[in-house]
Amino acid sequence: MNKVIDNILKHPISNTWNLFWLLSSLISIAIVSAILKADLSSPEDISYLIGYSVRWAIPFIYFVVAASSLRVIFPGKVSNWWVRNRKYIGLVFAVAMTWQAVFIFLLSTFHRDYYFGEVFYFRDELEGTVGYIFLIAMMLTSFRFAKKQFSRLQWNVIHKGGLYFLWAYAFSVYWWNIFYYPYNETFVAPQWHDYLFYWTGFLAFSLRIVAWGKARDKDLFDISITPKNSVLKKCCGLVSISLAITASATGHFWYKPISEILLSAKWSEELSLWLPFWPLEPFIPLFLLGLGVLILTKSYQ
């Protein structure tokens, strides 16, 4: 079995540009097939294609988010392959998002009344625009001719900032689809892909938090090591993590009171009109998870 996995990971088709062309071709074939079945004179059909293309894109941004974390938590051949090919996986994400951009252009250009009446929402538009700016910058600076124009710090800001923003945009969309709209606006049950992309997005970033914790404390997963924290601090860390897990599955219960508190100040309410993701309700469970890991991994002399 290990030999089979090794052969797959080392095969030329599973690496670098061959992997990119393979995955990009499969995605494009699927999207073109959907186009052939759609009526491009119908704004509803184009709107469907926007969502359809995004659902092809999202797994790849999650894969990129999780790549380096998996190598820290589960070092081995698979995680090394994952990190080695994350650039090309990220470019596959860009291909799928390019399809989405085409459909958005068609909808906003040829069906303006529908777009501005049914689809357009200023903050969503702002978040999407910032996301595309990051995506273009990340895509260009993935190549040497552009990368050499930036310092290491600037390159990291573009790629890490862009990666987090694109993950946050995708993740938050599905958080709202699961925990807000079914209970406050549409009253329609979430679809299976809403749950899939919410939980995989949560898992992808949780892995980054755990990897960060392991980087802070290499003995994090070694139960044979005497804990450096006091029992009280360990309990606080575990309680925070437990709250994070609970909150991640119960957003519809706590969203309204927490949102009212976070938006109670006038400046906060005004920020929510234009600042992407503010006041950050979808990310509260991850903040709690990060806090718990911080407490558990902090060393005390």
How confident is the model over 27-60, as pLDDT tens digits?
A: 999 999 999 999 999 999 999 999 999 999 999 9
In order, the DSSP letters of the chain are -HHHHHHHHHSGGGSHHHHHHHHHHHHHHHHHHHHHHS-TT-HHHHHHHHHHHHHHHHHHHHHHHHHHHHHHHS-SHHHHHHHHTHHHHHHHHHHHHHHHHHHHHHHHHH-HHHIIIII--HHHHHHHHHHHHHHHHHHHTTSHHHHTTS-HHHHHHHHHHHHHHHHHHHHHHHHHHHHTHHHHTS--PPPHHHHHHHHHHHHHHHHHHHHHHHHH-TTTT-TTSPPSS-HHHHHHHHHHHHHHHHHHH-HHHHHHHHHHHHT-SHHHHHHTTTSTTTT-GGGHHHHHHHHHHHHHH----
Q: What is the pLDDT of residue 224?
A: 54
Q: What is the pLDDT of residue 167?
A: 98
How confident is the model over 133-189, as pLDDT tens digits?
A: 999 999 999 988 888 899 999 999 999 999 999 999 999 999 999 999 999 988 889
